[in-house]
Structure 1
């Protein structure tokens, strides 16, 4: 199966190395081990591999000086990422800002992923981990999301904040930032925001600047993705759209949207994939299998909802597809490969 490239921006490591020094570590030695130099920490294209990033987070979990949240809200969080800040801090509504944050998180990193589901007055955000369950990975993103929401609605309320991991001494004061008690040892990493202004026009929205910032963010994201093969770029887009559970897309519409995003024709799409000996339908199936296996083994979502997220017309169609790919039905696969907290509850929901 084709490798799926996962990295984080090296820009974030200026803060990480400063925190390492406060914990008695030699930041120069850490940077050298990662292949980073002073220029890399400011280079918008420099990235750190998933495995290296996770190994450093495991090391940081033992540090005695805790991580401190930023003091000046969303401006502090996104100062290293002005391209992302320009997009998410200037949207027509709070709801649009949340969707843009999910779409352009690649600028920070694509190791984990976020899904957003909206109703009339609430937003449910789920943070899905790839690899070790380190509390800070979800918690840091939740803090960013809460402060972003406060920019649009200072009265926004946090209804729920759930983390799948155990409390960490490295994060002692973050409940105050989130604005509610954080519940640990939960089935998933989930945050619920409640706001009566979810779809209210943002009074500071500047449409002209929004188009300029969006273009800059799109070009940076595509440049980052462009370091992979063309087929891997396509796969990144497919993963992104499959994770957006609110977006109901047929295979034909997904292909059309992909061409619009990349600025190419369908003929060019097919020609470039053929040059790498890959078919679009094969990439879509790989993306569906990858997402489905992760959801089966890490979440308690019912099989029917996973089928909907993977754009299948019925649960039975998804079951047949998955069984052909893995030789076992999705329920049995979940039982054998469960990495969450309560497989019996999960299967009972299916």
Structure 2
């Protein structure tokens, strides 16, 4: 039976080949699926869906099970658009590379709900293909971000050849331990702790023909995807606000006007809707910082000064005091003890 599409699903084709990839890296695929709550029989079926949280958990669990902290990075590098189901076929059926990117950006949230994908141009004339999850409940999502950037890069390569490289690659998570692998995989500068995940590239070759472009097929595939998913999904209001807060923390304490504007709301409207939920904006910022601090402090390769900056603190001492208030001990003590006890 096909699962009912709700607020945050991802089509199971996004996990095509993951079982073999886990096994090839020395992991127990069955154990990974069981721990993540994923039904292995759904994997790779272009018309079935997985819960987005379970999908992200599966990739994080696979990284731990295989002992490969860059599991998502390497899985994405080998993942070809044709394996991605309808959204991959849509990109390949577009007449030009520019049309492929337009369709990818506009339709990817149907393939993977509760996400934002944008195709934009910055003030310097560079183009950005950006992606992030909008559900603030999904804290652990690094592997998903890294595999998605690899998938996106392979859309370019399907038109421009395997040697195509971006100008830059951006990731929202802090710099991982083996970060040189990311630079080598994309053959480009990689920046961590950014507002969103994205590929940055120059405004050229967008008129290059896609090798399998077929406008009639593109139109049919677009209709299939929209009908299958039903919607782009919508995380609960508080989770969307948490996501906007998270994306702006590396720039410093987020301002309510900026977060409200990113959601298309006036400041007073956001304040009123938060009050209706029994919480203030400052309390929500505190909750997001606390949850991320608990997540990142367990990763010893992230210097505490970088962790403080990732959470919007200008000084480590200020972050340390906040951490002690939340958890009753200094973050350095958690690190020294090797984790929570």
Report the TM-score, using the length of structure 1 for normalisation.
Answer: 0.62
CA contact (8 A) 1:158 1:178 kept: no
Structure 1 334/117 Cα, relative in aligned 2: closer, same or farther at 3 Å?
A: farther
Cα deviation, residue 78, structure 1? 1.4
CA distance in 2: counterparts of 1:49 and 1:197, whole angstroms? 37
**2:228 paired with 1:223:** yes
User: Which one of 141, 146, 165 corresponds to residue 139 of structure 1?
Assistant: 146
CA contact (8 A) 2:127 2:201 kept: yes
CA contact (8 A) 1:322 1:330 kept: no
Which residue number corresponds to residue 185 of structure 2? Answer: 177
* Structure 2 residue matching 1:343: 3-state secondary structure: coil
CA contact (8 A) 1:69 1:174 kept: no
CA distance in 2: counterparts of 1:29 and 1:123, whole angstroms? 41
CA distance in 2: counterparts of 1:201 and 1:52, whole angstroms? 38
CA contact (8 A) 2:21 2:75 kept: no
**2:243 paired with 1:294:** yes
How many correspondences in the alignment?
Answer: 277
Return 5+ residue gaps in structure 1 as ranges. Answer: 226-232, 240-285, 346-350
Q: CA RMSD in A?
A: 3.9
Which residue number corresponds to residue 307 of structure 1? Answer: 260
User: Which one of 312, 327, 331 corresponds to residue 343 of structure 1?
Assistant: 312
* Structure 1 residue matching 2:144: 3-state secondary structure: helix
Which residue number corresponds to residue 35 of structure 1? Answer: 39
Structure 1 107/172 Cα, relative in aligned 2: closer, same or farther at 3 Å?
A: farther
Which residue number corresponds to residue 102 of structure 2? Answer: 99
Which residue number corresponds to residue 316 of structure 1? Answer: 267
Structure 1 293/148 Cα, relative in aligned 2: closer, same or farther at 3 Å?
A: same
* Structure 2 residue matching 1:60: 3-state secondary structure: helix
CA distance in 2: counterparts of 1:173 and 1:344, whole angstroms? 28
CA distance in 2: counterparts of 1:108 and 1:50, whole angstroms? 11
Structure 1 305/218 Cα, relative in aligned 2: closer, same or farther at 3 Å?
A: farther
Structure 1 20/325 Cα, relative in aligned 2: closer, same or farther at 3 Å?
A: same
CA contact (8 A) 2:76 2:150 kept: no
Which residue number corresponds to residue 19 of structure 1? Answer: 21
CA distance in 2: counterparts of 1:308 and 1:53, whole angstroms? 30
Structure 1 55/31 Cα, relative in aligned 2: closer, same or farther at 3 Å?
A: closer
Which residue number corresponds to residue 10 of structure 1? Answer: 12
Return 5+ residue gaps in structure 2 as ranges. Answer: 293-309, 315-341
Cα deviation, residue 295, structure 1? 0.6
* Structure 2 residue matching 1:299: 3-state secondary structure: helix
CA contact (8 A) 1:83 1:213 kept: no
CA contact (8 A) 1:322 1:329 kept: no
Counterparts of 1:74-223 in structure 2, within 5 Å, are 76-91=79-94, 94-106=97-109, 108-110=111-113, 112-119=115-122, 121-129=125-133, 130=135, 131-151=138-158, 157-167=166-176, 173-184=181-192, 186-197=193-204, 200-204=206-210, 209-223=214-228
* Structure 1 residue matching 2:59: 3-state secondary structure: helix
Cα deviation, residue 138, structure 1? 1.0
CA contact (8 A) 1:135 1:167 kept: no
Cα deviation, residue 18, structure 1? 0.6
* Structure 2 residue matching 1:100: 3-state secondary structure: helix
Cα deviation, residue 132, structure 1? 3.2
CA distance in 1: counterparts of 2:142 and 2:152, whole angstroms? 16
Structure 1 89/176 Cα, relative in aligned 2: closer, same or farther at 3 Å?
A: farther
